[in-house]
C-alpha cells in the first residue's frame, strides 16, 4: 500500500496540525498523544514517510528507536514510573489507527487499567504540563 501523505502525523510533521512537542531532531519527533491512555502517554515518529516497520529504512529505524529510548527514559523519570510500556503496531489488523509508523510510550504503575485509544481528547494545557515534565527529564 502506498504511503498516505495526508495522515495526521504527516500533517503534524508539516506543521498543518498543532502538537505538544517534547523532542525533535532532524530525523524524529516526539509529542504528547492528544487522546492518552494514561497521563504521560506520548508518541515518537520518524520524519521519514513510512506506514510500518517494514516500510522504514534501516537508518530511519535506528533513529526512531534511539529517540524512543531517549524519550522513554525521560518519561520514566518525569512520572517516577517503575515501568515503561512501548507499543508499536503495524497495520489496521494489528490495531494501528494512524498509517505512519510510531511508538507509544506509556509510564506504568502496577494495577493501572489501560485502554488504548479509548479516552477522549485531553486538555492541551494539561498535555503541555506533562510535556514540560518530560522535557525537563531529558538528558
DSSP state of 106: E
* Residue whose C-alpha is closest to residue 50's, from 103, 94, 105, 99: 99
**CB-facing half-sphere around the CA of 42: CA atoms within 13 A:** 36
Enzyme catalytic residues = 102
d(CA 73, CA 91): 27
For residue 111, pLDDT beyond 80: no
pLDDT at 121: 82
Tell me the per-residue pLDDT of 39-81, one tens digit each, with 9 for 90 and over: 999 999 999 999 999 999 999 999 999 999 999 999 999 999 9
Domains located in the chain, CATH noted? 8-137 (3.30.428.10)
Tell me the per-residue pLDDT of 13-28, one tens digit each, with 9 for 90 and over: 999 999 999 999 999 9
Give the pTM: 0.86
Amino acid at each position: 500500500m502506498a504511503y498516505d501523505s495526508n495522515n495526521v502525523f504527516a500533517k503534524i510533521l508539516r506543521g498543518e496540525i498543532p502538537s505538544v512537542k517534547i523532542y525533535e531532531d532532524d530525523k524524529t519527533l516526539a509529542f504528547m498523544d492528544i487522546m492518552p491512555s494514561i497521563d504521560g502517554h506520548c508518541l515518537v515518529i520518524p520524519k521519514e514517510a513510512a506506514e510500518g516497520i517494514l516500510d522504514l529504512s534501516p537508518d530511519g529505524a535506528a533513529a526512531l528507536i534511539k529517540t524512543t529510548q531517549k524519550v522513554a527514559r525521560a518519561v520514566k523519570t518525569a512520572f517516577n514510573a517503575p515501568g515503561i510500556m512501548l507499543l508499536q503496531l503495524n497495520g489496521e489488523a494489528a490495531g494501528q489507527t494512524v498509517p505512519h509508523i510510531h511508538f507509544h510510550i506509556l509510564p506504568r504503575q502496577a494495577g493501572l487499567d489501560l485502554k488504548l485509544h479509548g479516552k477522549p481528547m485531553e486538555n492541551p494545557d494539561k498535555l503541555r504540563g506533562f510535556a514540560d515534565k518530560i522535557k525537563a527529564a531529558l538528558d
